[in-house]
Structure 1
Amino acid sequence: MESTINLPPLHELLDSVRVVSIPTRTRFRGVSVREAAIFDAPNGASEFSPFLEYETAEASSWLAAAIEYGWGTLPAMRRERIQINATVPAISAEQVPAILTRFEGCTTAKVKVAERGQSLADDIARVRAVREAMGDGALIRIDANGGWNTEQAISGLQALAPFELDYAEQPCMSVEDLIVVRERLSGLVRIAADESVRKADDPLAVARSGAADLLIVKAQPLGGLHRALNIIDAAGLPVVVSSALDTSVGIGMGLHLAAALPEGVLAGACGLGTVALLEGDVAAEPLLARHGSIDARRAILDPKKLEHYEAAPGRTKWWHERISACHRVLAEECPG
């Protein structure tokens, strides 16, 4: 399955873009303000929002995704609503109940662990607070974002095992370390791979090596919906679709990906509820979980919100230069 997009001229992208800067409700992976470039494209709103530290080569995949979603032919959707998990940042245990109230009706939670400057005791307290708040019937996942080495991952997951984890996402960064952890903890907890797929030169290495039980996939970093679907098909593993602290526009792209998956591939609730972690949004009707799910649809822009969260001129110039650099990379890859 291939995308039918053509690369729009650079001036068309720059003429259609608005850069926004939205504070987060709580610090999330070091981010307290989320910046994003929002296109008013022929298909409707589209988003380009690689994190600020990403270099041009990596960020260009995010621009390819934005162009496909805004200008390209998209895969058909197979379902109308997507189940959503709550996302719990690396906050104190006391803050957990307030965070969970933002994810109305969700019965699955993904909890961040292995935060720099925190301890395993902090992680255990946070996961315990989630279990107590959501009850025994809830599914709890943890996400270390590759923050542990193998021994830390093994001891950490053994300590968290009494909370009956659904899976552990990216406990270590390298594929080789994931293999070790998965073999040592076989039967105790499933291992999911995220960064080892979306930040890898070979996104299928995880599946070929048996390093994970399932994949976490994100539409923007993988280069768009068609490329993500191709990777999922080739990997042959169950998947959960997630986001990267997107606005509702980027969440709409993720919802489309989840809705386009073949039957039997989607492995539970998706991490597409993170608009709840932002202080604001750009959509007329933000894509937030209701009764534990979100309609699979594209966000409609609200001009007043775009104006309210418009980035400072210097930041807009920075994003224009970033789009231009990524556009050059894409033009070299598809000169026709």
Structure 2
Amino acid sequence: MSTELPPLDELLANSFVVRLPMRVKFRGITQREALLIKGPEGWGEFSAFTEYAPAEASRWLAAGIEAAYQPFPEPRRTSIPVNATLPAVPANQVGTVLEKYDAPHTIKIKVAEQGQSFDDDMARVAEARRLYPQAALRVDANMGWDVDQAVEALKALSEFDLQYAEQPVPGITGLAQVREKLRNAGVDLRIAADEAVRKHTDPLEVSRLGAADLMVIKAQPLGGIQAVLDIAEQAELDVVVSSALDTSVGLAQAAALASALPDLPFACGLSTGTLFADDVSHEPLLATAGFLAVRRVDADLEKLARLSPEQQRVDWWRHRVEECYQYLVRV
């Protein structure tokens, strides 16, 4: 990959660090930091979560470089159906969160949040179903259950006519066990793999072991659009493209990925721009009538300056780019 990388000095000279405030806590955070890269093709984003080591974070950097230095693929569609994302809020806040979305025809609901009970999950899903009786509901546990907990929870939650359950347990073997136990119990609920794909050294193992019915894939964690298209082609599973809590720059790359897939049977998780109280562009990438436009997003320099964090955090991100870059050079 070293032959495809632009010079490190060039990357750093055209990098901008931002911190975006969020409307609600999501993934345990209320502010999201990212580094944006301006390149010859437009803007790219590098926003690997702060706990990720260089080996994992370097794939996110590769995706950001790809977006800034390579044209997006030819689109097969000009807009992407998207789901609303409901964080693990109390049931009495469900309506307030979901009304921020434009026409939520599909709702992804976070469950198995640390410190909460299954009753909280049931109440949240039940309220979403009550408020939006025609919507497609899906739940995402982010590996929060063990196998037995997942089976019991999903048996109960299936009464709400779920579209699928995303990553209920850690690992690929665990997914396969949950899927088999539910089938044996007569519960025909699709299982989606997320972390089992993007955190695994071999993302195709999910397909080979029959551990899931579909794959939730993200452009940044897997190294960019072309890397994901290759995985999707080989896996031969339905694909849902999702956000890694990106700014509008990252969402534009993810939408371009979704637009390039041969088939897109499910709404994608690309409406997370609604979770932010501010964004890097005066024209943020937000859904209209439940669909997201496929287009490039230009970051605004004035906004980048206003959203820049303290110098210590800027230096931290620039050093992280250097670490991940050296990792990409070696591989």
Using structure 2 for the length normalisation, give the TM-score.
Answer: 0.97
Given the alignment of the two structures, is residue 183 of structure 1 paired with residue 183 of structure 2, yes or no? no
1:34 aligned onto 2:35 = no
Partner of 2:155: 158
What is the aligned partner in structure 2 of residue 285 from structure 1?
283
8 A Cα contact 1:197 1:204, kept in partner: yes
Kindly provide the CA deviation profile for residues 176-207 of structure 1, in whole angstroms up to 9, marking residues without a partner as x.
11111101112431000000000001100100
Counterpart residue number, 2:239: 239
Does residue 85 of structure 2 align to residue 113 of structure 1?
no
Q: Name the residue aligned to 1:204.
A: 204
**1:267 equivalent in structure 2:** 265
> CA–CA distance in 2 between the matches of 1:91 and 1:74?
36
Q: Partners of 2:192 and 2:271 in 1: how far apart?
A: 19
> C-alpha displacement at 1:308, in angstroms?
1.6
SS in 2 for 1:109: strand
Shift in alpha-carbon separation, 1:232–1:307, aligned structure 2, 3 A: same
> Secondary structure of 2:163's match?
strand
Cα distance in structure 1, aligned partners of 2:292 and 2:176: 34
Report the CA distance between 1:48 and its aligned residue: 0.3
Q: What's the offset of the Cα at 1:74? A: 3.5
The Cα RMSD (Å) is 1.3
CA contact (8 A) 2:81 2:268 kept: yes
Given that 2:197 and 2:206 are in contact with CA atoms closer than 8 Å, whether structure 1 keeps it comes out as yes
Which amino acid in 1 is paired with 2:303? Answer: K
Match of 1:299 among 297, 300, 304: 297
Report what 2:220 is aligned to.
Answer: 220
Which stretches in structure 2 are left out of the alignment for 5+ residues? none
Distance 1:104 1:61 in 2: 32
- Are the aligned partners of 1:78 and 1:261 in contact in 2 as well (CA < 8 Å)? yes
Q: Quick one: structure 1 residues 291 and 96, their matched pair in 2 at CA, closer, same or farther if it must change by over 3 Å?
A: same
What secondary structure, in the 3-state scheme, does the structure 2 residue paired with 1:185 have? helix
Cα deviation code 1:223-246 (max 9, x no counterpart): 010000000000000010001111
CA contact (8 A) 2:2 2:328 kept: no
Amino acid at match of 2:242: S
* Aligned twin of 1:324: 322
Secondary structure of 1:64's aligned partner: helix
Structure 2 counterpart SS, 1:304: helix
CA contact (8 A) 2:139 2:162 kept: yes
TM-score scaled by length of structure 1: 0.96
8 Å Cα contact 1:5-1:71 kept in structure 2: no
- The answer as to whether partners of 2:140 and 2:166 remain within 8 angstroms in 1 is yes
The 2-side partners of 1:66 and 1:321 are apart by: 16
1:279-313, CA deviations, whole angstroms, 9 ceiling, x for partnerless residues? Answer: 11001211111110111111121222212211110
- Give yes or no for the alignment of 1:168 onto 2:144: no
Q: Does 1:130 align with 2:128?
A: yes
Is 2:77 aligned against 1:79? yes
One-letter amino acid matched to 2:176: I
Per the alignment, residue 15 of structure 1 pairs with: 13
Which amino acid in the other structure matches residue 155 of structure 1?
Answer: E
8 Å Cα contact 2:2/2:329 also seen in 1 = no
**Residue 68 (structure 1) shift:** 0.8
Q: How do 1:39-118 residues align onto structure 2 when only pairs under 5 Å count?
A: 39-118=37-116
**3-state DSSP of counterpart to 1:37:** strand
What is the deviation of 1:5? 8.0
1:225 maps to amino acid: I
State the 1:267 CA deviation.
2.6
Secondary structure at 1:21's aligned position in 2? Answer: strand
The whole-number CA distance in structure 2 between the counterparts of 1:66 and 1:5 is: 16
- How many Å separate the matches in 1 of 2:137 and 2:3? 38
Give the count of matched residue pairs: 328
**Structure 1 stretch 177-186 or stretch 224-233: which is displaced more?**
177-186
Separation in structure 2 between the aligned mates of residue 21 and residue 4 of structure 1, nearest angstrom: 30
The answer to whether the 8 Å contact 1:5/1:67 transfers is no
Q: CA deviation at 1:4?
A: 12
How far has the Cα of 1:134 moved from its partner?
A: 1.1
Aligned-residue identity in percent: 49
Contact kept in structure 2, 1:166 and 1:189, CA below 8 Å: yes
